[in-house]
Chain A
Amino acid sequence: MTDVLDAPATTPLGQPIKRTEDPRFITGKGRYLDDIKLQSMTHLAILRSPYAHANIRSIDTSKAASMPGVHAVFTGADIPYNPLPMAWPAGGSAGIKNNVSTPRVLATDSVKWTGEGVAAVVADTPEQAVDALEAIVVDWEPLPAVVDAEKAMEPGAPQLHEDAPNNVVFEWSVGDKAGTDAAIDAAEVVVKQRIVNQRLIPNPIETRGDIGWYNPGTDEYTVWMSSQTPHIQRLLLTAFVTGIPEHKVRCISPDVGGAFGTKIFCYADMALCMFASKAIGGRPVKWVEGRRENYQSTIHGRDHITYLEIAGKRDGEVTGLRVKTYANLGGRLSTIGPGIPTTLYARVLSGCYKIPNVYAEVTGVYTNTTFVDAYRGAGRPEATYVIERAMDLFAAEIGMDRAEVRRRNFIQPDQFPYENPSGLTTASGGAKIYIDSGDYEPAMDKALAAVDYAALAAQKADARDRGKLLGVGLSTYIEVCGVAPSKWIGAVGEGWGAAMWESANIRVHLTGKVVVTMGTQPQGQGHETTYAQVIADRLGVPMEDIIVQHSDTQGTPFGYGSYGSRTSSVGMTAAIKAADKVRDKARRYAAHMLEASPDDIEIDGAEYRVKGSPDRKKTIQEIAFALDLAFDAPEGMEPYLDETAYHDTPNCTWPFGTHIATVEIDEETGEVELVRYVAVDDVGNEINPLIVAGQLHGGIAQGVGQALWEGAVYSDDGQLLTGSMLDYALPKAARLPSFELDKTVTPSPVNPLGVKGVGEAGAIASTAAVANAVIDALGAYGIRHLDMPYTSQKVWAAIQAAKGGQA
């Protein structure tokens, strides 16, 4: 357990300070979307398709429109807007064709998944709106459905979109095909395995929601949204969906109660609330997503079927990795759906290993399911699962210890910066994004020592005496954070064709109080604390004199938002740049006040001193007071300490570590218990170790959930069988052991803080660790692979089958 400090030491940077936003969150004083109540506000409810695939013959809204409290009923025909944008088609140098179909604000002719919106009611109360939905009559023509990516590509499968033959969205590849084919053909050992990374439902505790308000007086819109990206949503909603000029729309994201990626995207309901407010004359329109609605209409994650081949020598050297993945993207495409299984997955498949030959093919597929997009880790958990399972399979095949195989293939400390063979290529000059820094063996050795790995055989024997199969699983993960250099992410056909710098503004007011605004957007990570720690350190002012404001396109500089563990490495670097501009101006004004040359002013925390004359000094508060009053500003110097900076990171950052899970399986029932979890993470320097630990704990739990319990299950006709928390099994604290965290510290060289990012690391690492532990335990029965989640029935059946009994 990390020690907690209530008050900072000399500098708050790097200290385990309690999160300053938590008192309001945990005492019910947060202000989330549904807490916002506006004068004359109305409520919107959305009628969603009960069919996974159907044509809409007609919709009769007449009865609903006459129900009590109802102001309007809309169908797709009423909405003049464009379909939602596709911001990240699968690209690559060869100009890959993407067969794109994105949702309309309300469906017009057909629906492609259960839950696609087809009509909406606006009423005085949420109850009236929901009641009126039941009075809408839709004449449906149900069509055959398909929910599995491989089955969707088979001849005769139901076809979802006319312009997507065989339901293929795209076919994309990366790496050296000829070289990898040759390496695998020539290899001493080749192991093949089909593995499934099952579909997950992300489950932020706060579901999504919006309030649209059209102001007839100014012809402007304000849209409150539970979003990770208010600036991007303003851009997408105006320039791509509604055609309303961008400067006529203000987006506000209030306190956000978790997101995990689901709130990055542009959703139909955002535009719907804008449209509805104007249509009813300017009363605000609120929509709050129900939990079952969230399960059907907010994005899902993962859902890959992968065929992997790993090749190498009997001495443990891995020489080739060839992967074919079918990525289920749902019935229509979410905002950056195709980008996840391509750039963010296949380009990092080789993990932390110096595998010389890597080739991957990815086929994106439409099915009659909810759309799939970025969920905590977004491509990297899927890649980590593939490579970490592959390393175990290879080790088992050659009869070498799993840790030693990993050690044999690690990228070595002197090889950084390291360019991996399927790596990210930048737009200008073809330079690659490199792995910034790393030192993988110390983290693994720490973790191995913690679990007494050398005594594993004895631990297994002891468990067997108790009727339990014990297994230990390693995940020596690496991931890529800090998206992204604009020269890469903006590369045509590779990224999403946009820049991805970050911004911050710092103002030191006359009273010495500091206001920091930025373009990133917290959703529970504690940014108000960590930004304040960084700026307090840089400006020498107390944390309590700093307020961190965010989440409103009016009053914060444009930013791309928070996801991909990018806020600390990109956003806070912008804040540091802004602080340095403040310091520079303060130094120049201090020089004026002290009648010295700016070059002779040295800065020590809040004090600006004349070198050699320590008594001649001004504090930043005194400087701000004088400069803000500006009675005595020198010629050419503008009043006020108010500086804005933009930062485009030179490269991504690459956290890593070793996670080791220990499980015990009840042989008689198949029940799996996670009995121990050790994580040694290297996230570079830490701004706040307490927050780092919190992010790791949550991420680990989420990843364990995928391995042991979670999975979205559809019936063959496209009904979501895991449609609520009664059927979809989330990880629960009572079913988890206390996690044992340790660390190594390898600072990133690509940002001044030396940070790497931690928001997703836990979730990226833990799934593979637990999976490998379960398979290790089942090794007692000769089982070498089983797909997740490891429900008791599945494990029991595998044991029965291995025993030769009835499964």
Chain B
Amino acid sequence: MIPATFEYQRASSLDDAIGALAGGDAKVIAGGMSLLTLMKLRLARPARLVDIGRLDELRRVGPTADGGFEVGALVTYAEAMESTSLDVARECMEQIGDVQVRNRGTIGGSIAHADPASDAPALALALDYSAVLRSSRGERVVPLDGFFKGAFVTDMAPDEILTSIRRGPLPSGARGSYQKMAHPASGYSIVGVCAVIASSGGSISHARVAITGVGEAPYRAKGVESALEGSDGSASAVAAAAAHATDGQTVASDIYADGAYRSKMAEVYTRRAIDAALGR
């Protein structure tokens, strides 16, 4: 449980960090809740760590001018739980890790690390967040839908730093729920489903359903969303929509949940998350 030798560099500013990354074979470290574990197992062996932990400009969290919300990359789960007014966000984050993990682990770290079974990506996907990325080439804003490419693989270039995630305003009356079957050992999701729903005139006008733990990366279950939107949101409509939970996905398998079981649970938990979002 001793990592391979690495160099350590504490960034004094965002530009300093970006400059350090340009040197190659480096990883950004924030809370270290995921990366350090992989390094101690020698599954990750970066030559250099660039510590962005003291960059206070990455700690901002709050509403944006357009009525949206922005969460700086260094905001911890515990801080985010205190600053959000969204029940679904608290419901999700209180199921992440334990008190110690929530006090150290950062939302930005979780998004950038892209563990296929971590919870924050599903929450952020369902709330239509985008990633704000900076490099020496400038800043770009990438919607999270499409950002997660596979297990621990994202759209980020090796020299880019995630500085925040940002979203626009939510539809009026949007409500959500996060429903999770936790892995009995790791606590990661076997199935984690975040549903955010808004209704208008007796039918569902907005549906976002994001799933983690099931596919090769956290994903939007668009077959579920399209089946829901325009429906009356009845129990039978929700059940029918939930049947699309794993459409197009290569479903994960491990010793606690094989592919067939996990697929079935994705459907069940999708239905439960939507039902809960609808107040059932």
Interface residues of A (CB under 8 A from B): 126-127, 130-131, 290-292, 668-669, 671, 708-709, 713, 721-722, 724-730, 791-793, 796-797, 806
Residues of B within 8 A of A290 (CB): 1-2
Q: Which of A671, A709, A722, A727 has the most CB of B within 10 A?
A: A727
The contact sample of 25 A-B pairs, CB cut-off 8 A, is A126-B2, A127-B2, A127-B5, A291-B1, A292-B41, A713-B255, A721-B255, A724-B41, A725-B186, A726-B185, A726-B186, A727-B185, A727-B186, A727-B255, A729-B184, A729-B185, A730-B185, A791-B256, A792-B181, A792-B256, A792-B257, A793-B258, A793-B261, A796-B264, A797-B261
Which label, helix, strand, loop or mixed, suits the secondary structure of the B interface?
loop
- Report Cα–Cα, A728/B183, bound state, in Å: 10
- Report Cα–Cα, A722/B4, bound state, in Å: 23
Can you list, as one digit per residue, whether each of B243-272 has a CB less than 8 Å from chain A (1) or not (0)? 000000000001111101100110010000
In addition to A709-B184, A725-B185, A727-B254, 5 A-B residue pairs with Cβ atoms within 8 Å of each other are: A126-B2, A127-B2, A131-B4, A669-B265, A729-B256
Task: Tell me whether B268 and A793 are in contact (CB under 8 A).
Answer: no
Task: Tell me whether B255 and A722 are in contact (CB under 8 A).
Answer: yes
* Residue in A closest to B3 when the chains form the complex, CB atoms: A127
- Report Cα–Cα, A721/B255, bound state, in Å: 8
With contacts defined as CB atoms under 8 Å apart, how many contacts are there between chain A and chain B in the complex? 52
* Residue in B closest to A668 when the chains form the complex, CB atoms: B268
4 smallest A-B Cβ distances: which pairs? A729-B184, A729-B185, A290-B1, A793-B261
- Report Cα–Cα, A15/B261, bound state, in Å: 51
Q: Which of B2, B4, B184, B257 has the most CB of A within 10 A?
A: B184
Which parts of B13-31 form the interface with A (CB within 8 Å)?
none
Residues of A within 8 A of B5 (CB): 127, 131
Residues of A within 8 A of B254 (CB): 727
Residues of B within 8 A of A721 (CB): 255
Which parts of B170-216 form the interface with A (CB within 8 Å)?
181, 183-186
In whole Å, how far is A682's beta carbon from the nearest beta carbon of chain B?
33
In whole Å, how far is B96's beta carbon from the nearest beta carbon of chain A?
13
Residues of A within 8 A of B183 (CB): 729
In whole Å, how far is A703's beta carbon from the nearest beta carbon of chain B?
16
In whole Å, how far is B4's beta carbon from the nearest beta carbon of chain A?
7
Interface size on B, residues (CB 8 A): 20
In whole Å, how far is A121's beta carbon from the nearest beta carbon of chain B?
12
Task: Tell me whether A671 and B185 are in contact (CB under 8 A).
Answer: no
Residues of A within 8 A of B258 (CB): 793
Residues of B within 8 A of A292 (CB): 1, 41
Interface residues of B (CB under 8 A from A): 1-2, 4-5, 41, 181, 183-186, 254-258, 260-261, 264-265, 268
- Report Cα–Cα, A72/B257, bound state, in Å: 45
- Report Cα–Cα, A796/B186, bound state, in Å: 21
- Report Cα–Cα, A721/B183, bound state, in Å: 15
Task: Tell me whether A791 and B184 are in contact (CB under 8 A).
Answer: yes
* Residue in A closest to B183 when the chains form the complex, CB atoms: A729
* Residue in A closest to B184 when the chains form the complex, CB atoms: A729
- Report Cα–Cα, A783/B2, bound state, in Å: 47
Residues of A within 8 A of B256 (CB): 729, 791-793
* Residue in A closest to B265 when the chains form the complex, CB atoms: A669
In whole Å, how far is B100's beta carbon from the nearest beta carbon of chain A?
13
- Report Cα–Cα, A755/B260, bound state, in Å: 52
* Residue in B closest to A292 when the chains form the complex, CB atoms: B1
In whole Å, how far is A683's beta carbon from the nearest beta carbon of chain B?
31
Task: Tell me whether A796 and B1 are in contact (CB under 8 A).
Answer: no
Q: Which of B254, B255, B258, B268 has the most CB of A within 10 A?
A: B255
Task: Tell me whether B255 and A669 are in contact (CB under 8 A).
Answer: no
- Report Cα–Cα, A286/B257, bound state, in Å: 40
Known: A127-B5, A291-B1, A727-B186. Contact between A671 and B181, CB under 8 A? Answer: yes
In whole Å, how far is A311's beta carbon from the nearest beta carbon of chain B?
37
- Report Cα–Cα, A668/B261, bound state, in Å: 11
Residues of B within 8 A of A130 (CB): 2
Residues of B within 8 A of A713 (CB): 255
In whole Å, how far is B205's beta carbon from the nearest beta carbon of chain A?
29
- Report Cα–Cα, A728/B185, bound state, in Å: 5
When the two chains form the complex, which single residue of B4, B255, B261 contacts A796, counting CB atoms closer than 8 Å? B261
* Residue in B closest to A127 when the chains form the complex, CB atoms: B2
* Residue in B closest to A711 when the chains form the complex, CB atoms: B255
Residues of A within 8 A of B268 (CB): 668-669
- Report Cα–Cα, A722/B186, bound state, in Å: 11
Residues of A within 8 A of B255 (CB): 713, 721-722, 727
When the two chains form the complex, which single residue of B4, B41, B257 contacts A793, counting CB atoms closer than 8 Å? B257
Residues of B within 8 A of A671 (CB): 181
Task: Tell me whether B181 and A669 are in contact (CB under 8 A).
Answer: yes
In whole Å, how far is B72's beta carbon from the nearest beta carbon of chain A?
29
- Report Cα–Cα, A709/B256, bound state, in Å: 10
Residues of A within 8 A of B261 (CB): 793, 796-797
- Report Cα–Cα, A797/B2, bound state, in Å: 40
Residues of A within 8 A of B185 (CB): 709, 722, 725-730
* Residue in A closest to B271 when the chains form the complex, CB atoms: A668
Residues of A within 8 A of B264 (CB): 796
Residues of B within 8 A of A668 (CB): 268
Residues of B within 8 A of A708 (CB): 184
- Report Cα–Cα, A708/B256, bound state, in Å: 12
